[in-house]
Amino acid sequence: MTTSQEDASETREASDAKSDPEALVEAFCVDVARVEDEIHKRIVGQDDTLRGVLTCLLAGGHALLEGVPGLGKTLMVRTLADVLDLRFNRIQFTPDLMPADIVGTNVLTEAVDGAHRVEFREGPVFANVVLADEVNRATPKTQSALLEVMQEHSVTVSGRTRKMDEPYLVLATQNPLEMEGTYPLPEAQLDRFLLKLQVGFPTREELHGILERTTGAMTDDIHAVLGAPRILEMRGVVREVAVARHVRDYAIRLLTATHPDHPSAPDEVRRFVRFGASPRGAQACLLAARVRCLLAQRFAVATEDLREVMKAALRHRLILNFEGEAEGVAPDDLLAAVIEAVPERAD
């Protein structure tokens, strides 16, 4: 059975079980497990990073991956595109990259009959999965070209707006070590990433696997296990997950505690943070928590889901002040203080 046939059968099964949350959740988990299994055929370890990328895919957001070169970020994204049977484009950001280079431009073409026409030639952003490699190497002007497509899933060139195919996912990578010749991402653009994932160094066992796979015989038998329709259905399931008011209230209290001028903010936040997370951060927390809830085969978001996804969803939304920058304060430490300071039960 080909991938298309498999997708069709799964779609039918999903429609039959539409009114059955238990079945929906079970199918959701099965599909995610299949994707992860397939990716792990090529990627060793990086479970959290992979789970974060999938969370962004299923929640309808974008991910920013940060890590030193050589950790497999690009390979992971490429493999994900292969597994999902989605159109994939990679953009290597450089300082001389222009906005038109990524969104596309109108070019003058000559037809067979000699007539000249202006045609829009799509940039690399026109894909389902876009890898913006080393995104902080481009100028802010070029980086800003991603703003519209990331938020609106559309591109406007010469007054004409062109929609992207869904699902649309931007996965950007950046190197934290190379500060020379890089341009920090604007806060507005950072805010558009659902999660910022820290790609950690593999463990010793993972390194054994990496070396074995990459230096041995080429056995690349990756198959696409999910198509775009199924992904869109799964996104719908994510939106169906129930959230009780007290859980939502907990998310709000976590968010407000990141603001230094809020009474519930811990001392660390008051000292090192200039601006706290925006409401988009609470949205990101809740969306990511829904995905995590489903992956735990539950039907309503728990407070622990929020705590688990909070760092990835908010670490790039905290703007440190001069003292925080000077002291090299890690946003994850601040968020840990926030989690500790905010009680789960509101009095």
Partner 1 sequence: MPPNDPIPSLERAIVRVRWRLRLRAALTLAVRVAGPSVALGALGLLATHLDLGAPVGLHLPMESALPWALSVALVPPVLAALAAAFRRRTALDAAERLDEAAHTASRMANAWVFAATPPEERSAFQEAAIRDASLHVERLDPVHAAPLGRPSGLGIVVLALVGLVAAASLQNPAAPPPAEAAAPSPPPMLLAPEDLQAFEDELRERGVHEDDPPALSQSTRELERLLEELRERRVDERAALERVDALTRSFLEGRPADSAVERARLARLGENLDGASSLRAAAQALREGSAERAARELAAEAERAAAGELNRAELERVRRALERAAQDAGSREDQDATRAREQQERLLRREEQRPSTPAQRRLLEHHRRELERLRREEERAQAQRRQLERLERDLRDAAAQSGSSSSGSNSDGLSRAAEDLRRMGQQQAQDERSQAMQRQLEQLRELLRRQRPEGGQGQQGGGQGSNGAGERRRRFSLRAGGQPVGIGRRPGQSGQGGGDDDGMGGMGGMSGAGGMGGAGGMGGDGSGGMDEGMMILQPGSGGAADAVLELPGGEGTQGSGGGQGSGTEPGPGAGVGHDETRLDDPTAIAHGLNDSRIHGQASEGPSRSEVIDGAAARGFVGQGYQRVYGDYRGHSEEVLERDRVPPGYRFYVRRYFQLIRPREVQP
Q: Which residues bind partner 1 (CB under 8 A)?
A: 19-22, 25, 240-242, 244-247, 296, 298-305, 344-345
By beta-carbon proximity to partner 1, the closer residue of 51 and 280 is 51
Report how far residue 132's alpha carbon sits from residue 102's, in angstroms, rounded to the nearest whole number. Answer: 10
The verdict on whether omega for the bond into residue 99 sits within 30 degrees of 0, i.e. cis, is: no
Q: Take residue 216 and report the two structure tokens written for it.
A: 């041995």
Which residues touch 269 (CB under 8 Å, ≥6 apart)?
Answer: 257, 258, 259, 260, 276, 334, 337, 338
What are the angstrom distances between the C-alpha of 193 and each of 124, 146, 167, 264, 325?
19, 11, 15, 26, 22
Question: Which tokens is 131 given?
Answer: 């890898």
Q: How far is the CB of 248 from partner 1 (least distance, A)?
A: 10
CB of 246 to partner 1, least distance (A): 6
The residue (of 63 and 310) whose beta carbon lies closer to partner 1 is 310
**Nearer Cβ to partner 1 (292/311):** 292
Interatomic CA distance for residues 195 and 62, integer angstroms: 7
Identity at 7, one-letter amino acid code: D
Q: Which residue has the tokens 């990756």?
A: 222
Smallest separation (angstroms) from partner 1 to the CB of 13: 17
| Minimum gap (Å) between residue 292 Cβ and partner 1 | 10
Minimum gap (Å) between residue 342 Cβ and partner 1: 14
Work out how close the CB of 239 gets to partner 1 at its nearest, in angstroms, rounded to a whole number. Answer: 10
Please identify, using beta-carbon distances, which residue of 75 and 302 lies nearer to partner 1.
Answer: 302
Residue 303 is encoded by which pair of tokens? Answer: 């407070």
Select 238 or 320, whichever has its Cβ closest to partner 1: 238
| Nearer to partner 1 among residue 90 and residue 235 (C-beta) | 235
